[in-house]
Amino acid sequence: MSVTPSIQARPERVTLFATCMVDQLAPGVGESTVDVLEYLGLQVDFPSEQTCCGQPAFNSGFRSEALPVARRFVELFEQVDGPIVVPSGSCAAMVRNYYRELFRDDADLVQRAERVGERLYEFTEFIDRFFGTNAIGGRLSDSATYHKCCHMLRELGIDNPPLELLGNVDGLEMMPMERADVCCGFGGAFSVKMPDISSAILDEKLDNIEATGAITVVAADTGCIYQMQGGLRRRGSSVQVVHIAEILAKSISGSGRDPVRPGHRPE
């Protein structure tokens, strides 16, 4: 199932699906996501009952264990109105692309999952769709390079919007990375099941990062961020890896730029 989001009218409120990795390991990513969404004039709702989308179990081959977790996701988020925003391409791809396979024995659940998937957007995808990539701007004195996460690029088809968002931050020098679209070696359980291959892929990625001369790496999935940051630390590198929501939130904090007013679309 590959669902293209269908909401067209700009919303006044959204619901945040934080993901379990953000909730447990990187709460600052969730906070930064909310900061940016509120800067855009949106009211952000957060269902406290949310847990996981089921992706870790699904990708590890534990389909029966993933099923009740994914069903719970659908049951919770079908109750909310409007767009659902998630700061993770891999979790968005799980819901939009793989729930049909997971729920294949339950036609009703497939349809319910599709309706939820039609309203679910990856963070940068949502901004691009409803506000445009020039909506954030901000200012930040930094040099950065961007890693194109596999799920976002290959499963959701999101390529240019993150780079355009970063390119519109005044003072942020973007350094092109060779083979930016090549995997970092994380791949969830792949990095555990095949550590030697994962490490070899990571080493190439780190070489390309260091060759840019950037002091910050930007990515849009927490798993990729932890993978690259861990590798850089083991090398003794001072390069920091951050989520795109964090760098955008930092750029608008104290930038002096007025928040977007509800109903106003930046030119």
Same domain (yes/no): 98, 155 = no
Domain-embedded: residue 46? yes
Residue 123's Cα: distance from chain center in Å?
6
Is there a contact between 149 and 185 (Cβ–Cβ < 8 Å)?
no
Structural domains of the chain, count? 2
Q: What is the pLDDT of residue 191?
A: 77
Same structural domain, 102 and 125: yes
Instruction: For residues 15 and 229, give the distance between their C-alpha atoms in angstroms, rounded to a whole number.
Output: 29
123 and 21 in one domain?
A: yes
The CATH number of the domain holding residue 188 is 3.40.50
**pLDDT at position 264:** 43
Compute the C-alpha angle 142/178/93, nearest 5°.
85
State residue 137's pLDDT score: 86
Say if pTM beats, i.e. exceeds, 0.85. yes
Q: Of 129, 157, 180, which residue sits at a domain end?
A: 129
> Measuring CA to CA, how many Å separate 231 from each of 100, 147, 159?
35, 14, 24
pLDDT exceeds cutoff 60 at 266: no
Which of 129, 155, 172 delimits the end of a domain?
A: 129
What are 88-115's pLDDT values in tens digits?
A: 999 999 999 999 999 999 999 999 999 9
Say what the pLDDT of residue 3 is. 53
Range of the domain at 22: 13-129
Pairing relationship of beta strands 240-243 and 216-219 according to DSSP bridges: parallel
Residue 67 in any domain: the answer is yes
Does residue 50 contact residue 88 with C-beta atoms inside 8 Å? no
Confidence band of 12 (pLDDT split at 50, 70, 90)? very high
Please name the residue ranges forming H helices in the chain: 20-25, 27-39, 55-59, 63-77, 89-93, 99-102, 107-117, 123-130, 150, 160-167, 190-193, 195-212, 222-234, 244-252
Q: Are residues 164 and 146 in the same domain?
A: yes
Residue 2 has pLDDT above 70, yes or no: no
Pairing of strands 216-219, 13-16: unpaired
Query: What gap in Å lies between CA 49 and CA 259, rounded to an integer?
Result: 30
For residues 248 and 160, state if they share a domain: yes
Does some domain include residue 5?
no
Is the CB of residue 7 less than 8 Å from the CB of residue 82? yes
Residues 29 and 123 in one domain: yes
pLDDT for position 263: 41
Classify residue 90: in a domain, yes or no: yes
Residues 125 and 97 grouped into a single domain: yes
Least confident of 2-11, 87-96, 116-125, 213-222: 2-11
Which residue, of 102, 129, 156, is where some domain finishes?
A: 129
Q: Give pLDDT tens digits for 22-78.
A: 999 999 999 999 999 999 999 999 999 999 999 999 999 999 999 999 999 999 999
Residues 120 and 41 in one domain: yes
pLDDT the model gives residue 100: 96
Span 160-213, pLDDT tens digits: 999 999 999 999 999 999 999 999 999 877 877 888 999 999 999 999 999 999
As a whole number, mean pLDDT of residues 203-231 equals 97
150 with 247, same domain?
Answer: yes
- Would you state the pLDDT for residue 257? 53
Asked whether residue 224 falls in the same domain as residue 179, the answer is yes
Q: Is the pLDDT of residue 255 over 60?
A: no
Query: Is residue 177 domain-shared with residue 115, that is, in the same domain?
Result: no
Q: Do 40 and 63 share a structural domain?
A: yes
